[in-house]
């Protein structure tokens, strides 16, 4: 069985996978590598030659997978080494099993999620704006315990953030597709309960994937449901929220602050007006990266899926193509 790792030359170092790292992970399960042949490529000009013989494809974004059904006629399983799959999902044939690496960011997501909540509670984006403007204006703040955070999406990222929020004494309200109860949430609503949840929120934390259902979900009208003292965080996908509306509300003071880690275009262009929006703190899509463990976590997920694939068992992290994640 031929397993091919395809990586773009633009892929960040934390998402690079080489033969040494793959061998080290597979060696932890005796016999897992038996009968397998591995190839690795980061040159787009050579991609088709490798795809032509691949039974299994492991992808680190951003990679062009258009026409995959013709380019990889033997393909039986595709593993994406990220949680988000919006850039490749349309190219994965329905006959091919499809998995992602959800859960690889969990530890960092919890830590970064609570960091951003504490930043907003302590008005760090506002103080950063004052610093740039050389304004001295003291503003004492109450502790974060007892305040309400509404978390959109309680998958791996949202769950980890919810756990940390509860440890800090916060009230956690979840908004999910299913509305099912969650161990780290005080209450959970379906998507139709989002507006009502926003009206009682001190903070909103967005961890949603990008799907046709979530694109533009946090609209100008939805943001209008937030009280003026509220703050917003996005560590999911940029296109879930109307950033122009967010910027307007930060400028006119109808929201108190925001932290964004994801953007419609990355790197964020120098011409983007977001750079100068008051009370907005930007992080360059680095909040969930852990150079020590991310690649290891992804390879662990791949190894677990590979063991199941060889055994003919259900894979551990299947992507629901209908749902988009």
Least confident of 12-26, 67-81, 113-127, 196-210: 12-26
260 & 118 share domain: yes
Would you state the pLDDT for residue 303?
Answer: 97
115 & 100 share domain: no
Given the residues 6, 184, 237, 239, the one annotated as active site: 237
Q: What percentage of the chain exceeds 90 in pLDDT?
A: 93
Examine residue 206 and state whether it is found in any structural domain, yes or no.
yes
73 & 222 share domain: no
Examine residue 118 and state whether it is found in any structural domain, yes or no.
yes
256 & 110 share domain: yes
For residue 50, what is the domain's CATH number?
3.40.50.720
Q: Does residue 11 carry a pLDDT above 80?
A: no
Confidence of residue 258 (pLDDT cuts 50, 70, 90): very high
pLDDT digits (tens, 9 = 90+) for 29-59: 999 999 999 999 999 999 999 999 999 999 9
Look-up of token digits 């080489």: 18
pLDDT digits (tens, 9 = 90+) for 108-136: 999 999 999 999 999 999 999 999 999 99
What is the residue-averaged pLDDT of the chain?
A: 95
Examine residue 323 and state whether it is found in any structural domain, yes or no.
no
Given the residues 225, 285, 304, 307, the one annotated as active site: 285
Confidence of residue 281 (pLDDT cuts 50, 70, 90): very high
145 & 52 share domain: no
Please report, for residues 128, 201, 249, 274, 281, the alpha-carbon distance to residue 278 in angstroms, rounded to integers and kept in the order given. Answer: 9, 21, 10, 9, 9
140 & 47 share domain: no
Residue 196, sorted as left (phi over 0), alpha (psi -120 to 50) or beta, turns out to be: alpha
115 & 263 share domain: yes
Would you state the pLDDT for residue 231?
Answer: 98
Whether residue 225 lies in the annotated active site: no
Would you state the pLDDT for residue 291?
Answer: 78
Report how far residue 275's alpha carbon sits from residue 283's, in angstroms, rounded to the nearest whole number: 11
DSSP 195-230: HHHHHT-SEEEE-PPP-TTTTT-B-HHHHTTS-TT-
Distance of CA 168 to the CA centre of its chain: 23
264 & 300 share domain: no
88 & 50 share domain: yes
The better pLDDT of the pair 291, 169 is held by: 169
128 & 26 share domain: no
Examine residue 40 and state whether it is found in any structural domain, yes or no.
yes
The better pLDDT of the pair 14, 36 is held by: 36
Examine residue 325 and state whether it is found in any structural domain, yes or no.
no
Whether residue 285 lies in the annotated active site: yes
Would you state the pLDDT for residue 62?
Answer: 80
Give the total number of structural domains in the chain. 2
Report how far residue 234's alpha carbon sits from residue 247's, in angstroms, rounded to the nearest whole number: 13
143 & 60 share domain: no
Whether residue 183 lies in the annotated active site: no
> In which domain, by residue range, is 260 found?
106-282
- pTM higher than 0.85, yes or no? yes
Q: Does residue 217 carry a pLDDT above 70?
A: yes
Examine residue 319 and state whether it is found in any structural domain, yes or no.
no
182 & 230 share domain: yes
């Amino acid at each position: 069985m031929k397993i091919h790792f395809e990586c773009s030359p633009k892929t960040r170092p934390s998402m690079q996978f080489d033969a040494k790292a793959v061998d080290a992970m597979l060696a932890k399960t005796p016999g897992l590598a038996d009968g397998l042949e591995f190839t690795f490529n980061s040159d787009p000009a050579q991609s088709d030659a490798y795809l032509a013989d691949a039974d299994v494809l492991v992808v680190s974004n951003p990679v062009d997978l258009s026409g995959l059904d013709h380019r990889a006629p033997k393909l039986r399983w595709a593993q994406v080494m990220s949680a988000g799959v919006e850039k490749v999902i349309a190219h994965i044939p329905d006959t091919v099993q499809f998995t992602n690496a959800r859960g690889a960011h969990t530890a960092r997501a919890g830590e970064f999620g609570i960091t951003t909540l504490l930043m907003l509670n302590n008005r760090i984006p506002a103080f950063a704006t004052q610093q740039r403007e050389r304004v001295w204006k003291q503003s004492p703040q109450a502790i974060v315990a007892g305040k309400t955070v509404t978390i959109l999406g309680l998958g791996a990222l949202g769950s980890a953030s919810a756990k940390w929020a509860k440890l800090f004494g916060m009230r956690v309200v979840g908004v999910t597709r299913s509305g099912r109860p969650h161990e780290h949430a005080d209450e959970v609503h379906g998507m139709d309960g989002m507006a009502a949840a926003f009206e009682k929120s001190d903070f909103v934390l967005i961890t949603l994937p990008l799907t046709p259902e979530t694109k533009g979900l946090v609209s100008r009208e939805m943001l209008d449901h937030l009280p003026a003292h509220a703050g917003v965080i996005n560590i999911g996908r940029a296109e879930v929220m109307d950033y122009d509306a967010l910027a307007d509300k930060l400028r006119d003071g109808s929201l108190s602050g925001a932290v964004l880690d994801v953007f419609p275009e990355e790197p964020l262009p120098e011409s983007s007006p977001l750079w100068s929006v008051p009370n907005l703190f930007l992080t360059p899509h680095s909040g969930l990266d852990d150079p020590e463990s991310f690649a290891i976590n992804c390879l662990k997920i791949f190894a677990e899926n590979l063991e199941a694939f060889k055994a003919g068992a259900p894979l551990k992290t299947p992507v629901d193509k209908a749902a988009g994640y």
